[in-house]
Amino acid sequence: MSDLDGKAALVTGAGRGIGKATARHLAQQGMRVGVNDVDPALAQATVSEFRAEGLTALAIPGSVTRKADAGAMVAQVQAEFGPLWLLVNNAGVFSDGPTAELSEEAWDKTFSVDAKGVFLCSQAAIRQMIPRQQGRIVNIGSIAGLITRSAQIAYCSAKAAVIHFSRCLAVEMAPHGITVNCLCPGMTWTQMLSVSSAERGTPLDELTALIPAGRMAKEEDHASLVAYFASEAAGHLTGQVVAVDGAQSLYHPLTMQR
C-alpha cells in the first residue's frame, strides 16, 4: 500500500491535461483528491470519470486568481477529506506574441493565473499546514521559465517567477516540515500545446525534433514525479526544480547530431 493512501490532496486546473492525469494518478495511489478547475463542468466531468473508476475525488470549482476561492478550495478539501497533505499548483494559461504588441491584459492574465494563483493557493494551504508542521507543495512550472523563448515574454517570465517562488517558499517552510518543489514540464501534448501550436502553424514533427529523447512528455511522466514529491521517501527533498522534458531544455541545434 502507498504511504499516500487516505491522505488529502488538492490539484488546481485538474479538469483536463496534466492536472487531470496527476489527480488520477494520486487517486490511484489511494489519495482523496480535490479536483479544482475554473470551468465547473470540466471539474465535475473529471470527478464523475474518477468515481466510475472507483477513485475518491471531489469537484471544486473556483479560480486560483481569487483569494476567497483559494481559501474555500482548501477548506472544502479539508471538510470532506481531512487535513490537506498535498497541494499541486497546476492551473496555468499560455500567452505569446511579439513583446512590442503584447497587451497589458494578456500580461496581467498570464501573471494572474500562472504566478499570483500559485501564491494565493500556497498561502491558503500553508495556513493549514504550518500548525500541523507537515505538508507538501508541488508547483508546475515550465522549462519556459528556465530557457529563453522569443515572443513568449509573459509566459516565460511568469514561469520563472514560479520557479523562484518555489525556492524561496521552500526555505521559509523547511523549519515547518513542509516541502516545496517545482516540476518543469517540457512539451506535453495537451490542449494548451495543441491550440498554441495550431495557432502558430508549427507541425508536430518540428516540435518533436527539438526534444533529444525523440518524443514529447506524456502527462503521466509528470504525474509520477508529483506522487514521488508527495511521498514519505521525499521528505528531505525540497526547493528543487526538476525538468521533465527528455532533455529538451538542454538542447541546442549546434550540439545535437540526429
Ligand X SMILES: NC(=O)c1ccc[n+]([C@@H]2O[C@H](COP(=O)([O-])OP(=O)(O)OC[C@H]3O[C@@H](n4cnc5c(N)ncnc54)[C@H](O)[C@@H]3O)[C@@H](O)[C@H]2O)c1
Instruction: Give me the amino acid identity at 117.
Output: G
Nearer to ligand X, 133 or 194 (CB): 194
Kindly name the residue from 155, 162, 184, 187 that is annotated as catalytic: 155
Nearest to 210 by CA among 202, 200, 221, 198: 202
Smallest gap from Cβ 100 to ligand X, in A, equals: 24
* Type and span of the H or E element at 76: helix 67-81
| 3-class DSSP assignment, residue 81 | helix
**Is 251 among the residues known to form the active site?**
no
Nearest to 13 by CA among 113, 107, 122: 113
Smallest gap from Cβ 239 to ligand X, in A, equals: 19
Q: Which stretch binds ligand X (CB under 6 A): 189-197, 206-214, 235-243, 248-256?
A: 189-197
Q: Which stretch binds ligand X (CB under 6 A): 26-34, 37-45, 203-211, 233-241?
A: 37-45
* Helix axes of 17-28 and 40-52: crossing angle, nearest 10 degrees: 30
| 239 Ramachandran zone, left/alpha/beta (phi>0; psi -120 to 50) | left
Nearest to 85 by CA among 116, 125, 54: 125
Q: Which stretch binds ligand X (CB under 6 A): 2-10, 96-104, 120-128, 186-194?
A: 186-194
Among 29, 63, 179, 181, binds ligand X (CB under 6 A): 63
Neighbours of 68 (CB within 10 A): 11
Q: Output DSSP code: residue 190.
A: S
Among 9, 25, 37, 111, binds ligand X (CB under 6 A): 37
- Interactions with ligand X, residue window 103-122 (CB under 6 A): 113, 117
Binding of residue 183 to ligand X (CB under 6 A): no
Nearer to ligand X, 26 or 113 (CB): 113
Smallest gap from Cβ 26 to ligand X, in A, equals: 15
Q: Output DSSP code: residue 91.
A: -
Nearer to ligand X, 71 or 92 (CB): 92
Nearer to ligand X, 176 or 218 (CB): 218
Instruction: Give me the amino acid identity at 209.
Output: A
Binding of residue 152 to ligand X (CB under 6 A): no
Among 4, 9, 11, 13, binds ligand X (CB under 6 A): 13
* Type and span of the H or E element at 79: helix 67-81
Euclidean distance between CA atoms 106 and 97, whole angstroms = 10
Among 8, 11, 17, 120, binds ligand X (CB under 6 A): 17
Pairing of strands 32-37, 178-185: unpaired
Contact positions toward ligand X, by CB under 6 A? 12-13, 15-19, 36-39, 42, 63-65, 90-93, 113, 117, 140, 142, 185, 187-188, 190-193
Query: Which residues are known to be catalytic?
Result: 155
